[in-house]
Amino acid sequence: MNTPVAEKQAASATLLEARDLTRILPAVVPVTLVEYINIKVTEAEFVAITGPSGSGKSSLLYLLGLLDRPSKGEILINAIDTQHLSSSELSRIRLEKIGFVFQFHFLLPEFTVLDNVMIPMQKLGKLPQKQQVEHATGLLTDLGLEEFLHRRPAQLSGGQRQRVAVARALANSPDLILADEPTGSLDSAATEQVFESLQKIVETQRTTVVAVTHDMDIASRMERRIHLVDGRVDYDNRQ
């Protein structure tokens, strides 16, 4: 019987594809966030999206993560065109296939670390409660957080919170992790910890990670770099 990792290794198909992706904010003077983005991301890629402030890095990430809808163009996830999917269908894809890591961890403050990681699993409801606890504990242990399972996010350091956010993003074993400046608010030691965590995910679980970063040092250590300028792809080392 094939394991999920083995299944992923079996074929290196396109996981995520953007075709002529454009997002224009409607206003008296319309604001173009991104335009005519064409990219393909395959399994187990570690992708950095870089660019100056206002170049559309985060906007592109939110579009790829189906949190925002494009004004024009298409997004395909596992060859499924998401253009005509309903809001609840997009939510389902996010739940099953995508994990998010934001700059400011965005953990639920009233819940414990373990609860924060378990909530996406509870929502998906594929695992029984006992296995959810085991899986969440395993993820947190892998990220060096086994001592903090029952603490609230406020009782953790910035780096620890961000690693909890990574564990939460991995909770439902997604195909894709989208990280928006995951190390943006961290010191160098914590940045290193989080970066290594993401790298380990790509290497061991063959999960694709797309991370927006303005840290060129971090970006240079990632295998693929897409550089945006004024909402357009300026440079992509794979194309």
Distance CA 113, CA 164 (A): 7
Stretch that binds another protein, among 8-16, 72-80, 95-103, 136-144 (CB under 8 A): 95-103
Give me the amino acid identity at 126: K
The footprint of another protein on residues 102-141 (CB under 8 A) is 102-104, 106-111, 119-120, 122-124
The tokens for 180 are 């928006």
Q: Which of 8, 44, 57, 65 binds another protein (CB under 8 A)?
A: 65
Is there binding between residue 96 and another protein (CB under 8 A)?
A: yes
Phi and psi at 27, nearest 5°, equal -160, 180
Distance CA 112, CA 26 (A): 40
The tokens for 95 are 């739940």
- Helices and strands (H and E) in the chain: how many: 8, 10
Binding mask 15-54 for another protein (x = CB under 8 A): ----------------------------------------
Rounded to the nearest angstrom, the gap between the alpha carbon of residue 17 and the centroid of all alpha carbons in its chain is 15
Q: Which of 50, 58, 205, 213 binds another protein (CB under 8 A)?
A: 58
The tokens for 20 are 């002529």
The footprint of another protein on residues 169-228 (CB under 8 A) is 180-181
Binding mask 154-173 for another protein (x = CB under 8 A): --------------x-----
List the Cα angle 40/57/153 in 5-degree steps. Answer: 110
Which residues bind to another protein, rule: CB under 8 A? 58, 62, 65, 67-68, 87-88, 91-96, 98, 100, 102-104, 106-111, 119-120, 122-124, 168, 180-181
